[in-house]
Amino acid sequence: MFLMLSMLGGLGAIAIPVLVHLLHRQKTTPIQWGAMQFLIESPLQQKRRRHIEHWLLLLARMAVLGLLALVLARPLLDADLATPLGGGTTTDFAVVIDHSLSTGRAAGEGKTVFARSVELTAQIAHQLKPTDTLSVVLAEQVPKTLNERPMAFGSDELQKVNDSIGKLKPGLTRANLAPAVQAAREMVSHGRGVHKKIIVLSDEQKTSWQLDNLPAWKSALADASGEIDRRVGVFDLAIAPDGEMSNLTVGSLEIQPPVISPNRPVAFTASLTASGSRPVPVVPVSFWIDGKLVASQTVSDLLPGGSRSLRFEHVFAAPGSHGVKIQADVADALEADNSASLAVNVVEKIPVLVIDGQLTAAGSFRSSQFLRAAMQPEDESMEASSLIRPTIISLSDAPQARISDYAAVIVNDVPSLPSEVLSRLADYARGGHGVWFVLGPRTQADFVNGALSKAGLFTAELDAVAGKADRDPPGIAVKDPSHRIVSLLSAAEKNVFTGVVATQWWRFKTVSPDAQVVLATATGDPLVLDRAIGSAGGRVIVWTTSADGRWNTLPMAGAFVPLVQETLLHLFGPTASATFAHNLEAGKPIAWTAATSSQVLSATVTRMSDAAITPLKVAMQSGRSTTRFEETHNPGLYQLRFVPSEVPQPVYYSAGIDPREIDPAVLSSDDIKFLKSNGLLQGRLSADKINFVMSAPGSGSELWPMLAFAVVGLLVLETFMTYRMIRLQTGAVKTTQQGKMPFAA
Amino acid sequence: MPPSTHTSTSLLDPKSLAKISKLELVANQFMDGYVQGLHRSPHLGFALDFAQHRQYTPGDDIKRLDWRVFAKADRFYIKQYEVSTTLKAHVVLDASGSMAYRGQNDAMSKFRYAQFVAACLSYLILRQQDAAGLVTFDNQIRQMLPPRTAPSHLLRLIRAVDETRAEKESAIAPILHEVAERLKQRGLVIILSDCIDKAPDVVEALHHLRHKKHEVMLLQIMADDELTFPFRKWSLFESLERDDFRMKLDPALVRARYLENLEKHQQILTEGTSKLAIQHLLLNTTRPFDDALVAYLAERMGKK
C-alpha cells in the first residue's frame, strides 16, 4: 500500500540512466582503423572489469532513482511485519467536539459535557507523540474547524486553540456530527502521518449522530472510489451527562388565533416538561413582551416525564412586530432549554378582494352582501376596527385590480374571467396566497372545465346544475371534520349544519383527486373543496353552491360567519400568519426586507438575551432596503432597529431551539453496532481509555526511512564508482606520461 | 609548367599533391624542378661522376683519353668513371589494409602518401641513371619489378605503383624475409611501410636484409592520428584489414595504453634500425615528404 500512489509515476525516472546510456551508445562513431594492434594490447581483464563497472554504475543510478520514487510514494508495511521493525509511527489525530445545546448538561464535578470534552481535548493534546498532529473541529450545525493545518505537538497554535476552546460555552444549536467528521477527515488528510484517527467527544445524543443520514456519513468517510476509507479510524468517546438531575424544558410557544390584530386577545401556550430524572420543584415562569415582564405563573411538582401547559393571554395595543418570551427561572441540568421565544407580527387589517359577477342596477353587489357581512360581522360603524377588510369590485374592474395587495381573493359567481386575470391569480396562488371560487347561477361550465384547468388552479369537469328546489332538498354534511375550515364548527356540541339545505349546486363529472372535499350534500355531491397549489402554501377553495342564499340556506345559518372567517383564515396561508418568516431555527440567518421603498440608512441588531448590539450592513435590492444577520446561534429574540425612525420598527426575530436537541435519546448498543457494521465507527471509548487510541499501532508502518537509507547508501556507492572511473582515466594518462606503465607485448 | 614549381618545395605538401592524381606528373614535373634545384650544389654528385685518371696502357679505348691532360703534360691518361657501380634500388611498398588509413585532418591516406614517395624516389633514382625496381606486397608479394635503368622503366614503375590497392592483411616481417631471399643482387632497399606488425619480427627481417648486404632505408609512414590518438568520443574501431575485427571503446580510457604500446613499438624499431645501421625515418602524413627525399639523397651522399 502506498500513501502517495501518484508518486509511483516517478518510477519512470529509472529509464533516464538507460536512455542516457542508449543515447551515448548511439553517439558511437565508427572509425576505420589500421593500428589495431596497439588497441588490442590493452589488458583484456581490466577492460572486462571496467565493462562490468559500467553496468554496475548504470544499475546503481537506476536503483537510486527507483528507490527515490518509492520513498516519495511512501509505502506501508503490514502491521504484522511492522511491529518487529519498530512499529510506532506518526498519527494525525482530529478531535470532533460536540458543541450542541445538549452538551450544556452537567457531567459531574459541576462541569458540563462540553467542559469535559475540552478537558479531554487538552489531555489528548498532551499525550501526542512528538511527531503526531492534532486538529480540532467543533460540531455545530455547520462544522467549525479551529485550525488551518494539523497542529504539531507542543506548538503555539495548539496551545492557542486549547485556550480558545477553554473559553467557549456549551453550544446552543444542534450538532451534525457527520459533516464535522468529514471536516476532521479533511484536516487529517493534510497531515503526513501514517495513521488517521478521529475522536468524537460527544454526549452520544442520538440526534447529533444522524443515524438516519447514512449518505452524509458515507460522503464523510468514503474515499474517491466511494468505499469507506478504512485508514481513517473514527472513535466515539462518550461523556455521559449526570443521570440524577432535574431538568425543565420549555417547549415551543403556540399562538391562538394565528392572525393577531390590535386590541384583540391572543393566547400564548407553552408546554413545560420535566425532562430530567428528578422531579421539578416549584418554578416561577415569567412572560415577557418586547423585553418587559408582563405576567408570571408558577409550575410546581412536575414528576419526571410529566408536562404541563401554561397559557398566557395578552392584548397588543399597537400593530407591528413584537417579541414574546416565556422563561422558567430554575437552575437545572440544562439551562438553554429553560425559555422559549416567539416573534409575532400584529396586523391592523387583512385586505380581501371580492370579484363579483353580479353588479345590480342599484350599483350594489347583491350576491356578495352575505360574504361582506360575514367578514365584518360588527356594525357598519365599527368597520374601522374589523380585522378583515373586504374590497368588492365588478368583473370588468378585475383586470385593473392589484391583487398582490390582498391577502386573499374571492371570485364570486362570475361567468368567466379574462385569461390574463386568471393567470395572475394562478401566480398569486402559487406565491402562497389563497383564491376562493364561488360557483353560482352565472357560472359557465366552460369557464371551470377549460380556463380554470388550463390555468392550473382547479382541474375538474362540471356536469350540470343539480338540485331539488321543489321538494326534499338534501342537507349538508361535513365530509372532513378535521379540516381547518370546519374543525371549530364540527367540534361544537351539536351539528351546526342541521337544518341547512342545498337546493341547487354544480355537479362534477370528474374532479381532480388532489382536491379535498370538506362539505358535501347529503347525497354525496361535493359542495366545498380545498386544494393546495404551489409549494409556498397557496390554496384554492371551490364552492359549488352559491354564497348568497339562492341555492342554499347557508347564509341564514349561524355557521355561515365562522365558516367564511375560517375559510379566509385558511386561505390567508402562512404569509398572513403572525409568526410568518420571523421565527427561525437557531443558526439560520435573519434576512429582512423593507416593506416600503423608503430607504434605510443604517441598521443594528440587538440580541435580547445579553443586549449585545451589532451594526448591520444595509443593501438595496429591487428598490427595497435589505439587511442580513448570520450569527443567530444563540436561541432567543433578536431586535432590529433602523435609521431613519420613519421605518416601522423595532422588528423582532426569534431563533428557536431545535426541538430535536431536547430529545434525550442516546446511542444504543444496536446503534453502535450499526455504525461499526457500516465501517463508520472503529471503536467506542471511555475517558480513561484514551491511551488505547493514542498508542495503538495502526494498520502499517512506513518504509520510507529504510528506503531513504538505501538511497543514501547507493548514492555513496555511485559517487565512489564515478570518482574511481574518472580517476582511472586521468591516472592512466598521467602514468603513461611518466612512462611507468609496463609494456604488454 | 607553372613558374612556381621550380622554386618552391612546398609543392610537395601532401595537401597540394592530393589535388594531382597522376603520379607521372608529380614525378616528372615536380621532381624535375626539385632535383635541378639541388643539382647546383657542388657537393652533390651522381654515378657518372669522374673518379680518377689512369696511365694509358695499350688496349685502352682511345675514346677515353683525356686530351686536355695530354695537352698540358704530354702524357696519355685515361679518364675513369664510376659508371660501372650502378645502384640497384628496390622500392618495397607496403600495400596492406592498414596503409589505407586516412587521418581525420589528412589530405590523403598513408598509402597514397607512400605512392607519391615511391613515384618520386623512382624518378629520382632513374634520373641518376641508377636502376629502380619495385616490390608491392600485403600478406604476400603482389608485384615484383626488377631494377632497370632505362628511363622508360619509370612509366612502368609508376603505373605499377598507381594500380596497387591497399586492402588486405599485412605480414611485413615474412615478406621482408622473402624479399631478402629473392633479391639476388645487393642494392638499396627502400621500405615504405607503416610497420604495423610485431616490431621485433620486423627488426629481425631487416636484419635479414642487412645480412644479404643490402642497404636499407625504412621510411615508416604514419598518420598523425595514429601517433597522437586524439579521439575523445566513444568509437567503434573497425580494422581496415579484417572485416570481422572491431572494438568499441572509450578512447579516453585506452589512449594512455595505446600511446604506451606505440612508444614501445617505435622504440624497438628505432633501436633495431640503429643497431643495423639502417636509416629509419618516420614520415607523418600531415607533413611534406621532402624529408624522405632529402634523407634518400643524404644516404646516397654518405655512401660516396
Which of A32, A39, A47 minimises the CB distance to B258? A39
User: How many helices (H) and strands (E) are present in chain A, helices listed first?
Assistant: 18, 35
Q: Cβ neighbours of residue B271 under 8 Å, at least 6 residues apart?
A: B203
pLDDT digits (tens, 9 = 90+) for A657-701: 777 777 777 888 899 898 888 888 888 888 777 777 776 554 456
Between chains, do A36 and B234 touch, taking CB under 8 Å as contact?
Answer: no
**pLDDT value for A652:** 92
Nearest to B92 by CA among B170, B155, B17: B170
Q: Between A371 and B247, whose confidence is greater?
A: A371
Q: Between A190 and B52, whose confidence is greater?
A: A190
Q: Between A442 and B35, whose confidence is greater?
A: A442
CB A382 within 8 A of CB A405: no
- Is residue A5 left, alpha or beta, with left meaning phi > 0 and alpha meaning psi from -120 to 50? alpha
- pLDDT category at A435 given cuts 50, 70, 90 is very high
Find the residue in B nearest to A34 (Cα). Answer: B98
**pLDDT value for A379:** 61
Which of A31, A37, A47 minimises the CB distance to B238? A31
CB B159 within 8 A of CB B165: no
CA distance A323 to A329: 19
How many beta carbons lie within 10 A of that of residue B7, not counting itself? 11
pLDDT digits (tens, 9 = 90+) for B20-63: 445 555 555 455 545 544 433 333 333 445 667 778 888 777 87
Cα B231–chain centre separation: 30
The answer, yes or no, to whether residue A642 has pLDDT greater than 70, is yes
Which of A29, A33, A735 minimises the CB distance to B256? A735
| Gap from B167 CA to chain A (nearest CA, Å) | 11
Those residues of chain B that have pLDDT short of 50 are: 1-11, 20-21, 29, 33, 36-48, 83-84, 303-304
Between chains, do A25 and B234 touch, taking CB under 8 Å as contact?
Answer: yes
Find the residue in B nearest to A732 (Cα). Answer: B256
Q: What is the 3-state secondary structure (H, E, C) of B40-92?
A: CCCCCCCCCCEEEEEECCCCCCHHHECHHHHHHHCCCEEEEECHHHCCEEEEE
Q: Between B139 and A410, whose confidence is greater?
A: A410
Nearest to B253 by CA among A698, A226, A50, A358: A50
Between chains, do B239 and A36 touch, taking CB under 8 Å as contact?
Answer: yes
Which of B97, B110, B253 minimises the CB distance to A729? B253
CB A741 within 8 A of CB B260: yes
> What does the DSSP 8-state code read for residue A357?
S
pLDDT digits (tens, 9 = 90+) for A78-88: 544 444 444 45
Q: What is the 3-state secondary structure (H, E, C) of A252-316?
A: EEEEECCCECCCCEEEEEEEEEECCCECECCEEEEEEECCEEEEEEEECCECCCCEEEEEEEEEC
Distance between terminal CA atoms of chain B?
Answer: 33
CA distance A7 to A2: 9
Burial status of residue A303 (CB atoms within 10 A of its CB: 0-12, 13-18, 19 or more) = exposed
CB B264 within 8 A of CB B143: no
Strand-strand pairing, A339-346 and A320-328 = antiparallel
Residues of chain B neighbouring A744 (CB-CB closer than 8 A)? 261
- A7-36 residues touching B, CB cutoff 8 A: 24-25, 27-36
Q: What strands lie across the sheet with A265-274, from one edge to the other?
A: A248-256, A265-274, A307-315
CA distance A342 to A253: 7
| Gap from A15 CA to chain B (nearest CA, Å) | 21
Distances in Å between the alpha carbon of A333 and those of A169, A245, A686, B93?
Answer: 15, 6, 22, 122
What value does the mean pLDDT take over residues A247-268? 83
- pLDDT category at A137 given cuts 50, 70, 90 is very high
Residues of chain A neighbouring B249 (CB-CB closer than 8 A)? 39, 47
Is A744 in the B-facing interface, judged by CB distances under 8 Å? yes
Between chains, do B256 and A728 touch, taking CB under 8 Å as contact?
Answer: no
Between chains, do B99 and A27 touch, taking CB under 8 Å as contact?
Answer: no
Residues of chain A neighbouring B223 (CB-CB closer than 8 A)? 34
Which of A32, A41, A50 minimises the CB distance to B261? A41
Between chains, do A34 and B100 touch, taking CB under 8 Å as contact?
Answer: yes
The answer, yes or no, to whether residue A436 has pLDDT greater than 90, is yes
CA distance A604 to A479: 51
Cα A471–chain centre separation: 61
Residues of chain B neighbouring A735 (CB-CB closer than 8 A)? 256
pTM exceeding the 0.95 threshold for the entire prediction: no
| Gap from B256 CA to chain A (nearest CA, Å) | 5
User: Which three cell numbers mark A503?
Assistant: 337546493
- pLDDT category at A363 given cuts 50, 70, 90 is low
- The CA angle A190-A193-A194, to the nearest 5 degrees, is 120
CB B154 within 8 A of CB B99: no
CB A647 within 8 A of CB A655: no
The answer, yes or no, to whether residue A224 has pLDDT greater than 50, is yes
| Gap from A40 CA to chain B (nearest CA, Å) | 9
Residues of chain A neighbouring B197 (CB-CB closer than 8 A)? 37
CA distance A170 to A632: 15
What value does the mean pLDDT take over residues A270-281? 84
Query: Which of A24, A27, A32 is the best mutation test for B, with the most CBs of B within 10 A?
Result: A32
Indicate the SS3 state at residue A657.
Answer: coil
| Mean pLDDT of the residues in chain A | 82
Which of B235, B236, B256 minimises the CB distance to A736? B256
Residues in a beta bridge with B237? A31, B247
Distances in Å between the alpha carbon of A52 and those of A41, A710, B5, B161, B234?
Answer: 19, 22, 59, 48, 17
User: How many helices (H) and strands (E) are present in chain B, helices listed first?
Assistant: 11, 10
User: Which three cell numbers mark A284?
Assistant: 416561577
| Gap from A738 CA to chain B (nearest CA, Å) | 10
Query: Which of A21, A29, A36, A741 is the best mutation test for B, with the most CBs of B within 10 A?
Result: A36
- A691-720 residues touching B, CB cutoff 8 A: none
Find the residue in B nearest to A25 (Cα). Answer: B234
CB B12 within 8 A of CB B34: yes
The answer, yes or no, to whether residue A74 has pLDDT greater than 60, is yes
Between chains, do B233 and A28 touch, taking CB under 8 Å as contact?
Answer: yes
Find the residue in A nearest to B251 (Cα). Answer: A39
CA distance A540 to A567: 11
Which of A34, A733, A739 minimises the CB distance to B226? A34
**pLDDT value for B39:** 35
- pLDDT category at A731 given cuts 50, 70, 90 is low
Strand-strand pairing, A583-585 and A538-543 = unpaired
pLDDT digits (tens, 9 = 90+) for A481-519: 888 888 878 777 777 888 888 889 999 888 888 899 999
- pLDDT category at A203 given cuts 50, 70, 90 is confident
CB A354 within 8 A of CB A368: yes
pLDDT digits (tens, 9 = 90+) for A581-637: 788 887 788 988 887 777 888 999 999 888 889 999 998 888 888 999 988 878 889
- The CA angle B89-B90-B91, to the nearest 5 degrees, is 115
Proportion of chain A above pLDDT 70, given as a percent: 89
- ipTM over 0.85? The verdict is no
Lowest mean pLDDT, pick from A7-11, A243-247, B130-134: A243-247
- Is residue A471 left, alpha or beta, with left meaning phi > 0 and alpha meaning psi from -120 to 50? beta
